[in-house]
Amino acid sequence: MKAINFKLIMISLIFSFTGMSQEVSDDSKQKGHLNTNKFRQMYQEFSSPNMFRTAAGAPGPAYYQQQADYKINIELDDQNKRIYGDEIVTYTNNSPDNLEYLWVQLDQNVRKKDSPSLDKDGDGAAPYYLPSGFTNKFINKPFDGGFNVEYVKNVNGKPLDFFINQTMMRIDMSTSLKSGESFSFSIKWWYNIQDHVNQDGRSGYESFKSDGNRSYIIAQFFPRMAVYNEIEGWQNYQFWGDGEFALPFGNYDVKITVPSDHILDATGKLQNRKEVFSKNMIKRFNKAKKSFDKPVMIVTQAEAELAEKGFSKEKKTWHFIAENVRDFAFASSRKFIWDMMAVKVGDKDVMAVSMYPKEGNPLWEDYSTVVVAETLKTYSDYTFDYPYHKAISVHAAQIGMEYPMICFNFGRPNIDGSYSDQVKYGMIGVIIHEVGHNFFPMIVNNDERQWAWMDEGINTFVQYLTEQKLGKDKPEIIFPLRGISLQKRKSKRYS
Contacting positions for Zn ion (CB under 5 A):
456
Q: Which residue, 50 or 491, has its beta carbon nearer to Zn ion?
A: 491
Going by the DSSP 8-state scheme, the letter that residue 438 receives in this structure is I
Q: Provide, rounded to whole angstroms, the least separation between the CB of residue 280 and Zn ion.
A: 37
Q: Provide, rounded to whole angstroms, the least separation between the CB of residue 436 and Zn ion.
A: 8
Q: Which residue, 258 or 442, has its beta carbon nearer to Zn ion?
A: 442
3-state secondary structure of 231: coil
Q: Which residue, 447 or 456, has its beta carbon nearer to Zn ion?
A: 456
Q: Which residue, 110 or 399, has its beta carbon nearer to Zn ion?
A: 399
Q: Which residue, 147 or 379, has its beta carbon nearer to Zn ion?
A: 379
Q: Provide, rounded to whole angstroms, the least separation between the CB of residue 437 and Zn ion.
A: 6
3-state secondary structure of 83: strand
Q: Which residue, 262 or 326, has its beta carbon nearer to Zn ion?
A: 326
Q: Which residue, 89 or 392, has its beta carbon nearer to Zn ion?
A: 392
Q: In sequence order, what DSSP letters do the residues of 180-227 get, joined into one string?
A: T-EEEEEEEEEEEPPBHHHH--SSEEEEETTTTEEEEEE-S-S-EEPE
Q: Measuring CA to CA, which residue among 227, 277, 222 is closest to residue 248?
A: 227
Q: Provide, rounded to whole angstroms, the least separation between the CB of residue 435 and Zn ion.
A: 11
Q: In sequence order, what DSSP letters do the residues of 118-146 get, joined into one string?
A: GG--TT-S-S---HHHHIIIIISPPP--S
Q: Which residue, 69 or 456, has its beta carbon nearer to Zn ion?
A: 456
Q: Provide, rounded to whole angstroms, the least separation between the CB of residue 455 and Zn ion.
A: 7
How far is the C-alpha of 202 from the C-alpha of 218, rounded, in Å?
Answer: 8
Q: Which residue, 236 or 378, has its beta carbon nearer to Zn ion?
A: 378
How far is the C-alpha of 223 from the C-alpha of 282, rounded, in Å?
Answer: 34
3-state secondary structure of 388: coil
Q: Provide, rounded to whole angstroms, the least separation between the CB of residue 185 and Zn ion.
A: 33
Amino acid sitting at position 99: L
Task: Please report which helix (H) or strand (E) contains residue 325, including its range.
Answer: strand 315-325
- Asked if 387 and 439 touch (Cβ cutoff 8 Å), the reply is no
* 207, β-bridge pairs: 214
How far is the C-alpha of 437 from the C-alpha of 280, rounded, in Å?
Answer: 33
How far is the C-alpha of 146 from the C-alpha of 220, rounded, in Å?
Answer: 11
Q: Measuring CA to CA, which residue among 219, 336, 326, 196 is closest to residue 266?
A: 219
Q: Measuring CA to CA, which residue among 184, 187, 183, 190 is closest to residue 151?
A: 187
Q: Which residue, 359 or 456, has its beta carbon nearer to Zn ion?
A: 456
Q: Provide, rounded to whole angstroms, the least separation between the CB of residue 461 and Zn ion.
A: 11
- Asked if 259 and 334 touch (Cβ cutoff 8 Å), the reply is yes
Name the residue whose CB lies closest to Zn ion. 456
Q: Provide, rounded to whole angstroms, the least separation between the CB of residue 247 and Zn ion.
A: 16
Alpha carbon of 36 to those of 183, 290, 348, 354: distances in Å?
48, 59, 50, 49
Q: Measuring CA to CA, which residue among 280, 343, 327 is closest to residue 437?
A: 327
Q: Provide, rounded to whole angstroms, the least separation between the CB of residue 448 and Zn ion.
A: 9
Q: Provide, rounded to whole angstroms, the least separation between the CB of residue 433 and Zn ion.
A: 6
